[in-house]
Amino acid sequence: MERNLRAPVMAFVAALILSALSAAQAGPGSNFAGDWRLCLEEIVDIPDDLFELHIPVGCELVDCCPDCPGIDPTIYWRVRLEGSPFESASLKFDRLPKEISARLKVSGSAQGTADNLLIARGEALISGLPVEVAGRAPVAQLQLKLDAAWLQAREKQATGGGFGDVPDFGTLVIEQILGGFPVNAHQISFSFRRCGYVPTDRISLQNNASGDSASVWLDANRDGTCVTEDAERGAGLIGVGNVLANGGCRSEVVVLSDDDAMQLVENVSAWTDSPGDTLAVDMTPDRLMAPVTVWLARPDALTAAQADFDTANLLYNTNNTGIGFAPTFVDVSADPLAVAAIGHETSCRDLPRLLGSAYVTPDQLNVYYIDAVDTGVNCSPEGSNIQMIGTAAGNVTLAHEFGHSMSLDHSDGRLHAPGPDIMDPLARGRTHFMDGQSFRMNAHCSSSLNVNGVRSGPVRHCDHTIEGGITCPATTDTHCPRLQTDSVRH
Amino acid sequence: MRAVAIVIALLAATACAATQAMSSEESLALRRAAISWLECEECTNGELAALVKFGEKAVPTLGAALARGPSAATLEEVRMHLEDTYRNLVEYARTHSEVKVGLSEEAYVKLYLENFQAKYAVRAAQGLAALGGPAARKYLDAAAKRTWRKDVNAAILKAAR
């Protein structure tokens, strides 16, 4: 959905932290769904499905509650809706057997039936839900509703300058409980805060391919204070308020956009103390397409490989990384020498042998589809160009391994992304790269993008990256946005 | 199917009898450790070692995962993600020619859902092999007699050995 933040008004940022937790508390192994940041003008235009959540009914593990008493054959849901931004949540169960629907009991802040429940702020209990049913699990469809009075009041305060930088929070927690033990849980948090500037100074994006809403990060002098990671979004002309002359401040701009390469503009000198300055940022070249040789070392791997690349290209581009992948498929599955050289393990143990063989294209990414029942691996740091993909790979495994090749380390799932983070090694349903991750993939000195010469431009030495064999020169600039940096998007 | 369920129940009961009841915190920790091992991508963060620390107490959980796979709720969560991704792919392909979308939605979901189930089975078997002991052995032997996808079958036989 296209966004336009050019309206000369103060706006809100809504950060919707969607976290699906495997238990009531966040922690390792829990699923993390995301963190969205939207401006108020966008909230009214948001497609309904952004506020729509689908939560399967039942236990996270088939051994539902290890060693629990298990006296009650049913589970109950404890639903808590808290915070002023949300008025209520409507809930209906799909595929819930009629006899179970008829027996559901609701109390607390919930009212209605299984087909049409309304949950107000507070705590609601829904009891009588099944641990498991035959066939596909029933799914609860939740639709959150913003509180109209809150929205109106905040709009009024924002235009009057009365809404400060302290965000408003709203949270929805759903715990599925068996005999007192949580057996599945989802938590969705939302924060709304001020965003947007009167466009007295502007950044003008030129040649923005596809004209999408780009993510812009500004380091500059604001009101005599050096600010970093000041976030804006826009497609063409983007208001940034009155940015002052640099003084002693670092002044640079990073732009991340669909279909365009990342732009890192250093030493910006366009800003003066007077309003009306414009910084032009040329968004050429288009997205950087990394060439990839794909070695199909097992029969019938082509279909899966193409689907993996489709998914990787979708995720990298729609997350504004400015990176894509251009595969060349080479079927060596009938060549015993090739299969032997490539091996049968999703490991990097035989990396020297592979790198010394004829089955590697130097100075570019190589992916090997091998006959091993495993997910995938990237051989960073010694072999950052090498990816092994096994027969149990998920649809995001290849995208994840490419992230390693471009210097990213695993994240811990607590980045508050708009979707589960692609570099989280545990999360289900991963969809998102943070802008901080996109920056590293583009700018970090050990990223295969720079090492292979796909990108030319200034490099940085960032934290939360894989280095190892590639060491950034001591003089490399270490200034990088925080890993969890992300901008308004949906 | 009923016979399989009875065997699983007996195996679980045998394994439970050999261990002391867990506290709720321990049960939760075991559940998290099991999920981490069963679902991790490269598993380089000590996921198996963390699970093995639970010893025999982890056997019924892994045994159930091997015998029955992911829970219906977890499988549904994965399926919903795959369906969403596919819809996004189709939309994206309209303006980006490098994306071909050579699979139908059904085939795309099936491909990755089966891979997820394969990963689950293999990790459960590997976990049981790492835990060892007679209860784990029973689960592995039972699994070795079943028909699996070819690659999964080989991995389970290896774990059972």
Identify all chain B residues contacting A96, using CB atoms and an 8 Å cutoff: none
Find the range with the poorest average confidence among A139-148, A291-300, B12-21: B12-21
pLDDT tens-digit readout, A293-334:
999 999 999 999 999 999 999 999 999 999 999 999 999 999
A25 vs A424, higher pLDDT: A424
* pLDDT bucket at A1, cuts 50 / 70 / 90: very low
Looking at the domain assignment, is residue B7 inside a domain? yes
Q: Is pLDDT at A28 greater than 80 in this prediction? A: no
Q: Is B4 on the interface with A (CB under 8 A)?
A: no
Best interface-test mutation with B: which of A52, A373, A379, A422 has the largest number of B CBs within 10 A? A373
* pLDDT bucket at A345, cuts 50 / 70 / 90: confident
The predicted pLDDT at position A197 comes to 63
Across the A:B interface, residue pairs with CB atoms under 8 Å apart total: 197
pLDDT tens-digit readout, B75-134:
999 999 999 999 999 999 999 999 999 999 999 999 999 999 999 999 999 999 999 999
Contact B33, B45 (CB under 8 A): no
Average pLDDT over residues B34-59: 95
* pLDDT bucket at A193, cuts 50 / 70 / 90: low
The predicted pLDDT at position B11 comes to 47
Looking at the domain assignment, is residue B152 inside a domain? yes
Q: Is A286 on the interface with B (CB under 8 A)?
A: no
Find the range with the poorest average confidence among A258-262, A285-289, B7-11, B106-110: B7-11
Q: Is pLDDT at A66 greater than 50 in this prediction? A: yes
Identify all chain B residues contacting A63, using CB atoms and an 8 Å cutoff: 12, 34, 60-61, 63-65
Cβ under 8 Å to B: A residues 381-400: 391-395, 397, 400
- Phi, psi at residue A105, to the nearest 5°? -120, 135
CA distance B122 to chain A (A): 8
Average pLDDT over residues A237-266: 95
* pLDDT bucket at A167, cuts 50 / 70 / 90: low
Q: Is B16 on the interface with A (CB under 8 A)?
A: yes
CA distance B155 to chain A (A): 7
- Chain B residue with minimal CA distance to A136? B72
E strand or H helix at A184:
strand A181-195
**Closest Cβ–Cβ partner in B40, B42, B72 for A137:** B72
Find the range with the poorest average confidence among A45-54, A140-149, A261-270: A45-54
- Chain B residue with minimal CA distance to A325? B98
Looking at the domain assignment, is residue B16 inside a domain? yes
Q: Is A326 on the interface with B (CB under 8 A)?
A: yes
Q: How far apart are CA A273 and CA A242, in angstroms?
A: 7
Question: Which domain range does residue B36 map to?
Answer: 2-70+116-160
Contact A371 B151 (CB under 8 A): yes
Average pLDDT over residues A283-287: 96
By DSSP bridging, strand A365-369 and strand A288-296 are parallel
Instruction: Show Cβ contacts of residue A444 under 8 Å, excluding neighbours closer than 6 positions.
Output: A406, A407, A450, A459, A460, A461, A462, A465, A472, A480
- Chain B residue with minimal CA distance to A24? B28
Domain extents in chain A:
11-195, 201-282, 288-451
* pLDDT bucket at A239, cuts 50 / 70 / 90: confident
Average pLDDT over residues A152-170: 67
A469 vs A120, higher pLDDT: A120
Q: Is B87 on the interface with A (CB under 8 A)?
A: no
Find the range with the poorest average confidence among A241-245, A434-438, A466-470: A466-470
Quick check: bond before A285 cis, omega within 30? yes
Contact B31 A65 (CB under 8 A): yes
CA distance B147 to chain A (A): 16
**Closest Cβ–Cβ partner in B69, B76, B82 for A139:** B76
Q: Is A85 on the interface with B (CB under 8 A)?
A: no
What 3-state DSSP class applies to A470?
Answer: coil
Average pLDDT over residues A140-169: 75
Q: How many domains does chain B have?
A: 1
Cβ under 8 Å to B: A residues 213-272: none
The predicted pLDDT at position A317 comes to 97
A438 vs A70, higher pLDDT: A438
Q: Is pLDDT at B6 greater than 50 in this prediction? A: no
Best interface-test mutation with B: which of A30, A67, A325 has the largest number of B CBs within 10 A? A67
- Chain A residue with minimal CA distance to B111? A304
pLDDT tens-digit readout, A449-478:
999 999 999 999 998 888 656 678 888 999
CA distance B28 to chain A (A): 8
The predicted pLDDT at position A161 comes to 56
Contact A62 B65 (CB under 8 A): yes
Contact A203, A165 (CB under 8 A): no
Q: Is A321 on the interface with B (CB under 8 A)?
A: no
Looking at the domain assignment, is residue B76 inside a domain? no
Contact B35 A61 (CB under 8 A): yes
Looking at the domain assignment, is residue B92 inside a domain? no
Looking at the domain assignment, is residue B125 inside a domain? yes
Contact A34, A19 (CB under 8 A): yes
CA quadruple B65, A100, A71, A56: dihedral sign: positive
Contact A328, A290 (CB under 8 A): no
Cβ under 8 Å to B: A residues 436-455: none
Please state, rounded to an integer, the average pLDDT across all residues of chain A: 85
Regarding an ipTM greater than 0.85, the answer is yes
Q: Is B65 on the interface with A (CB under 8 A)?
A: yes
Closest CA relative to residue A367, chosen from A396, A336, A334, A405: A405
Class of domain A288-451: alpha beta
Instruction: Give one DSSP letter per residue of B37-93, joined into a string.
Output: HHH-SS--SSHHHHHHTTGGGGHHHHHHHHHH-S-HHHHHHHHHHHHHHHHHHHHHH
The predicted pLDDT at position A146 comes to 87
CA distance A318 to chain B (A): 9
The predicted pLDDT at position B85 comes to 97
Find the range with the poorest average confidence among A18-32, A359-373, A430-444, B143-157: A18-32
Q: What percent of chain A has pLDDT over 90?
A: 59
A104 vs B9, higher pLDDT: A104
Find the range with the poorest average confidence among A3-7, A74-78, A438-442: A3-7
Instruction: Give one DSSP letter per residue of A163-180, joined into a string.
Output: --SPPEEEEEEEEEEETT
